[in-house]
Amino acid sequence: MPLEDKQTRLHIMREIAKRQSVDPLRLQVSCINQIATITGDLRPLRGAKGVDTRKELGIIEDIILRLPKVREVITRDVRCR
């Protein structure tokens, strides 16, 4: 994995962690040739009430697509709980 992809992956992980309503620890992120792939479980943080994880996933996708080094986001293997 090129250094640029590693840096982009870390940037994506930081952006996901900024979302205070979902648990980022159950998500895996990879980035290859400016294509970000997110897999795993998207769950609300413990104690968070009324969190729509599908809506949060859409927000996360939009945020990631705005990053300068990302041209596509793949989230088809994310399970929303």
Give the pLDDT confidence of 28-55 residue by residue, as tens digits.
999 999 999 999 999 999 988 899 999 9
CA distance readout (Å), 31 to 6, 26, 34, 52: 7, 17, 6, 26
The ranges assigned to domains in the chain are 3-80
CA distance readout (Å), 75 to 21, 46, 54, 57, 72: 18, 23, 11, 8, 10
Averaged pLDDT for residues 64-72: 96
Averaged pLDDT for residues 50-64: 96
CATH 3.30.70 fits 3-80, yes or no: yes
DSSP bridge pairs for 80 = 42
Which residue type, as a one-letter code, is found at position 45? L
pTM score > 0.85 for this model? yes
Mark residue 42 as left, alpha or beta (left: phi above 0; alpha: psi -120 to 50; beta: remaining).
beta
Averaged pLDDT for residues 57-81: 95
